[in-house]
Amino acid sequence: MKNIRIIATSTFGLESCIKREAQRLGFENIKAFDGKVEFDGDESDIAKANIWMRFPSKILIKVGEFKAVTFDSLFESVKALNWGDWIPVDGKFTVIGKSVKSTLHSVPDCQAIVKKAVVEKLKIKYNVDWFDETGADYTIQVALLNDIATITIDTTGASLHKRGYRQNAMDAPLKETLAAAMLDLSYWRKNRILLDPMCGSGTIAIEAAMIARNIAPGLNRSFACEQWQRVGKDIFKAIRVEAYKAIDYNVNTIIYGSDIDPDAIELAKQNAEKAGVDDCITFEVKPLKDVTLMGDYGCMITNPPYGERIGELKIVEELYKTLGKIMATNQTWSSYVITSMEYFEKLFGKKADAKRKLFNGRIKTDYYQFYGPRPPKGWNEDIN
């Protein structure tokens, strides 16, 4: 029975990507809200979401939701929830919180009250007066928005963007979840050439290769709920076995990544090898001015420098002008650029067909999308 309400948290602008992904994975009763997508599932779906979802930051269990405008009502409502369904007698639990536009605006006070309420409920459940908290970790969150408290438990642990392949990164790295979403929001598919001419440590190219090869993004990392009694390692093992079987080692995809920095390219190669896709990507040291478009109907997707440091602006403006000139050499290509520079289109030399607001970390950006023509019917059918 699918009686667990699961929340996939989202950075601003990626909710639609997560909703489509939840649909593709077969989850039920899917609803999108600002900053999150909810769906019904069971313990196996918790593992499936953590291992397979490319765009969320966390996978949470929704324990309860209610209006709370006093500390007494918060305490009583939290105490009424079935904490013993998830937290065993030896469970180690911490409480984190946030409050936006709510009467209960003191987050530390809310955290303390939720902790006390959970303890009081578990005392009744297990008939004990003291908890050693020596077992698995359970992170509880109280999130208040417009006086509505949503109480969750984090099943993920370290954020889902931490796939495990990127041990090191260059300055201002693009999160893996955002890179994957940029691909999802583009016309790129595994039978089309992909180019990132300012690839840095290779995140966009690696995420594309993982999508093309159908490698689950969470396959090679661990999750908090693997240590829980109710979910546990056996469920995760079964999902991982199926995920390994689903990998397509025979896919024929063409992905290029280049950068002017030799250290960045060396790092990109190392990251691709850790991700198991080094044979899918051609990385090379190359200044932007020397980049050429090979083949037709390709997609250029990149996260260039934004020119936010003193002295960089003129250099970045020239990069954007050069990028526009390169893309103008082949009208069949589509271009996708994420940047915080508000006059990017003027430098690129073309008005975007679409523009989407996204956050790259704490930086507010726009994702500029320039569409090339649709490939003719039957084009590149021989590519898997």
Report whether CATH 3.30.2130.30 matches the domain 4-154: yes
Residue type, 140: I
Angle in degrees, CA 255, 206, 199, rounded to 5: 75
Nearest alpha-carbon partner for 261 in 197, 182, 340 = 197
Question: Residue 120 corresponds to which tokens in the numbers above?
Answer: 């009081």
pLDDT in tens, the chain (384 residues): 679 999 999 999 999 999 999 999 999 999 999 999 999 999 999 999 999 999 999 999 999 999 999 999 999 999 999 999 999 999 999 999 999 999 999 999 999 999 999 999 999 999 998 888 899 999 999 999 999 999 999 999 999 999 999 876 666 679 999 999 999 999 999 999 999 999 999 999 999 999 999 999 999 999 999 999 999 899 999 999 999 999 999 999 999 999 999 999 999 999 999 999 999 999 999 999 999 999 999 999 999 999 776 568 899 999 999 999 999 999 999 999 999 999 999 999 999 999 999 999 889 999 999 999 999 987 775 554
Return the sign of the alpha-carbon dihedral for residues 184, 189, 192, 194.
Answer: positive
Angle in degrees, CA 4, 6, 9, rounded to 5: 170
Tell me how far the alpha carbon of residue 319 is from its chain's centroid: 28
**What SS3 class is residue 127?**
coil
Q: pLDDT at position 132, please?
A: 86
Pick the CATH number of 176-216+223-370 from 3.40.50.150, 3.30.450.40, 1.10.600.10, 2.40.70.10: 3.40.50.150
Give the start-to-end residue ranges of the domains of the chain. Answer: 4-154, 176-216+223-370
Q: pLDDT at position 384, please?
A: 45
Burial of 34 (0-12, 13-18, 19+ CB in 10 A): exposed
DSSP state of 283: E
